[in-house]
Amino acid sequence: MAEVPTLAIETATVAENSSVLFDEFIAHRVGLLPINSKNVDRYEYQKECSCSYSCPNCTVKYTLDVVATEPGITEVTHHDIQPADVAISTDSTNYPFPVPTWDRDSSEEENRSKGIVLVKLRQNQHISMKLEAKKGIGKMHAKFNPTGTVSMRYEPVIQINRDIEFDVPVNERKEVVASCPRRVFELDDSEHIEVVRPEECILCEECLNKANLDLKRKGLVSVNHRTDKIYFDVESTGARPPQDIVASAMKIFSEKWSRLGADLEQWEQEFAQA
């Protein structure tokens, strides 16, 4: 979330804006657009680039120029953002367009329906901007964050003690089953408690509270989690695929460990010479 790089629009130069939204509002909206960053490693961070401000090695340039000629409302979407270099085709897979990109196999109506609306224009209103995207990380600004949500959860291990259950009346078994908010348990045909949806368990321990505290049937249910396995969920903004985000994060993590090892070795040498 904080250090995997992406591309995002950093500079917006407004040449014309006769819409109802002021310049800074539109600039903020285009800045938050997810841009295809699968090839972000081809670009340099601006502070590390040899150029004075912007060049093809650190900057991607776009234009946004829309005039509403038809009566009614014209929606300006991210599909209206075009590369500054007119020689680049809009279906190029190597150019970092805002996503979702234009699908040539779908109709214009379908593509337009998936467009991220930036501003709405009335007839004769005009929006014209020059945009520059830079490489950055979430520590610099949230717009560079490649993820929506990142979460981790354990794999639960749920067991029913059949020796204790033998002495538990059916009505109490039903109470244990009903205590789970995620419907992890059910009674089978023999009215024994069965774990039917273990993946739904959120380790809330409501079943333990019901069995141990309310019913005084301590040990009837045990809920633990595996220490050697977790589920890691990564939701992408669309700028980079989830698997690409994880791979990049692991690479960054590995580089940090390498730097730490080198620093520790240097400190040991300095300490030995002191």
Per-residue pLDDT of 12-22, as tens digits, reads 999 999 999 99
Comparing 88-102, 114-128, 136-150, the range with the smallest average pLDDT is 88-102
pLDDT category, 86, cuts 50, 70, 90? Answer: low
pLDDT (average), residues 245-272: 92
Q: Assess contact for 217 and 183: CB atoms under 8 A.
A: no
Comparing 51-60, 87-96, 260-269, the range with the smallest average pLDDT is 87-96
The answer, as to whether pTM is greater than 0.85, is: no
- What is the model's pLDDT at position 263? 93
The mean pLDDT value of the chain amounts to 91
Residues 6+ apart with CB under 8 A from 6: 34, 35, 37, 40, 135, 136, 137, 144, 145, 146, 239, 240
**HEC-encoded secondary structure of 20-72:** CCCHHHHHHHHHCCCECCCCHHHCCCHHHCCCCCCCCCCEEEEEEEEECCCCC
Residue 168 has pLDDT above 70, yes or no: yes
- What is the model's pLDDT at position 118? 95
- What is the model's pLDDT at position 88? 63
pLDDT (average), residues 88-117: 79
Instruction: State the Cα–Cα distance between residues 200 and 221, nearest whole angstrom.
Output: 16
The full set of domains in the chain, from first to last, is: 6-145 (2.170.120.12), 150-230 (3.30.70.20)
Residue 91 has pLDDT above 90, yes or no: no
Residue 90 has pLDDT above 60, yes or no: no
pLDDT category, 108, cuts 50, 70, 90? Answer: confident
